[in-house]
Amino acid sequence: ASYDMGGHDTFMHKEISEQPDAVDRVLRGRIDDRFSTVHLGGLNLDPREARTIRRIKILGCGTSYHAGLIGAGLIESLARIPADAEPASEFRYRNPVVDPDTLYIAVSQSGETYDVLAAVQELKRKGARVLGVVNVVGSAIAREADGGVYVHAGPEVCVVSTKCFTNTVTAFALLALHLGRIRDLSVTDGKRIIEGLRKLPAQIEEILKGEDEIKRLAEVYAGAQSMMFIGRVRGYPVALEASLKLKEISYIHAEAYPASELKHGPLALIEPALPTVAIVPDDDLLEKNRAALEEIKARSGRILAVAHQPQEKADHTIVVPKNEDELDPILMGIPLQLFAYHTALAMGRDIDKPRNLAKSVTVE
């Protein structure tokens, strides 16, 4: 199919801009205010079964893996089910123990990524229960799964994923809320998360309004040969995804590290020529994150913070609107999509079709 750029210069820019509507779509018709939960029609998992899940293992590649990491965090905090994410490409080659009490979730924009599909088929062969969190309706992974949640991001044309990442993480928030309300999440907390979810489209709109300022910052940092991205717990997958975005379209080398790991090695790299992008949410880890900024500053490292309030130790801060702590990761990555975009643009890169990459990797 051929798609229209709708007045944008690139599909990436169009897709970044579409996010308020895209998130609205993933929420639409699913929220149940009466019971402070969400309905997920295609899940195919009854409450009795849902209560027997002992673990959740999320599998995906690239950006979908990063969305899965945030998803695992959401499931652990809202549903209190131990959850983790792993690259599907790795999982498949290590003869994993397939446990009947584990629920497996395959994540994919295209629904056609070979590594993910092969992992799903291997799991099903071993009798596991596999759900899909997929964008393309009727795709191979969606068909192979026992049920799942459609992400409803709409067609994503740019090789690098933006709106689908945001929608996938939001879909995980819905799933986590749904599982949480079947288990121990209170009505009050359910309401709190629902209110947070409803705020997302307008908050994304607000972030997008800051594009001119983000463009200016991208031009400030565009000369760097390499960049460090740091975050802690919820912020770490945001850092991973932002660094992948920058690598893919600008070809600037970027590394992502948990902020807590800096002192165990990567601090040796810090000097004025290696800027750091730091994810600094206003949550219970704020002071810890500020301490990391201080350590970087003490080594004369430049810092661009993404935070809920201006950070004194940072050279620049992109301020994003605050949501519930659990939902903040959905918002904090969005300015960094624009940051990667404007960095690549300043460098004259072919943004929609970065070298060496394909939209869906349907081969081994």
Report, in Å, the least distance between residue 212 CB and ligand AGP.
Answer: 24
Report, in Å, the least distance between residue 305 CB and ligand AGP.
Answer: 24
DSSP-assigned states of every residue in 330-364: HHHTHHHHHHHHHHHHHTT--SSS-TT--SS----
110 binds ligand AGP (CB under 6 A): yes
Q: What is the 8-class DSSP label of residue 272?
A: T
Q: For ligand AGP, which residue of 37, 113, 250, 323 counts as binding (CB under 6 A)?
A: 113
359 is catalytic: yes
121 binds ligand AGP (CB under 6 A): no
Q: For ligand AGP, which residue of 16, 27, 75, 116 counts as binding (CB under 6 A)?
A: 116
Report, in Å, the least distance between residue 62 CB and ligand AGP.
Answer: 2
Nearer to ligand AGP, 98 or 361 (CB): 361
Distances (CA, A) of 303 to 62, 213, 254, 307, 339: 26, 16, 14, 12, 14
The residue type found at 99 is D
**3-class state of residue 271 by DSSP:** coil
Q: For ligand AGP, which residue of 86, 248, 326, 352 counts as binding (CB under 6 A)?
A: 248
Q: Which residue is nearest to ligand AGP (CB)?
A: 62
Report, in Å, the least distance between residue 161 CB and ligand AGP.
Answer: 4
156 binds ligand AGP (CB under 6 A): no
238 binds ligand AGP (CB under 6 A): no
Report, in Å, the least distance between residue 117 CB and ligand AGP.
Answer: 9
* Stretch of 62-70, 198-206, 221-229, 272-280 contacting ligand AGP, by CB under 6 A: 62-70
323 binds ligand AGP (CB under 6 A): no
285 binds ligand AGP (CB under 6 A): no
Per-residue x/- track, 158-177, ligand AGP (CB under 6 A) = -xxx----------------
Buried b vs exposed e over 309-342: b needs ≥16 C-beta within 10 Å? eebebbbbbbbbebbbebbbbbbbbbbbbbbbbb
Q: Could you report how far apart the first and last alpha carbons of the chain are, in Å?
A: 25
Report, in Å, the least distance between residue 184 CB and ligand AGP.
Answer: 31
Catalytic residue among 199, 215, 288, 359: 359
Q: For ligand AGP, which residue of 10, 36, 63, 89 counts as binding (CB under 6 A)?
A: 63
The residue type found at 155 is P
The C-alpha atoms of residue 87 and residue 116 are separated, in whole angstroms, by 9
The C-alpha atoms of residue 13 and residue 251 are separated, in whole angstroms, by 18
* Stretch of 110-118, 192-200, 279-287, 309-317 contacting ligand AGP, by CB under 6 A: 110-118
Say if residues 131 and 148 touch (Cβ distance below 8 Å). yes
317 binds ligand AGP (CB under 6 A): no
Number of residues that bind ligand AGP (CB under 6 A): 16
Report, in Å, the least distance between residue 210 CB and ligand AGP.
Answer: 22
331 binds ligand AGP (CB under 6 A): no
256 binds ligand AGP (CB under 6 A): no
Say if residues 268 and 299 touch (Cβ distance below 8 Å). no
118 binds ligand AGP (CB under 6 A): no
- 187-209 vs 334-346: helix axis angle to the nearest 10? 20
Backbone angles phi, psi at 87, to 5 degrees: -60, 130
* Stretch of 91-99, 107-115, 267-275, 322-330 contacting ligand AGP, by CB under 6 A: 107-115
Distances (CA, A) of 362 to 86, 110, 208, 356: 19, 10, 33, 14
- 187-209 vs 163-182: helix axis angle to the nearest 10? 170
| Active site amino acids | 359
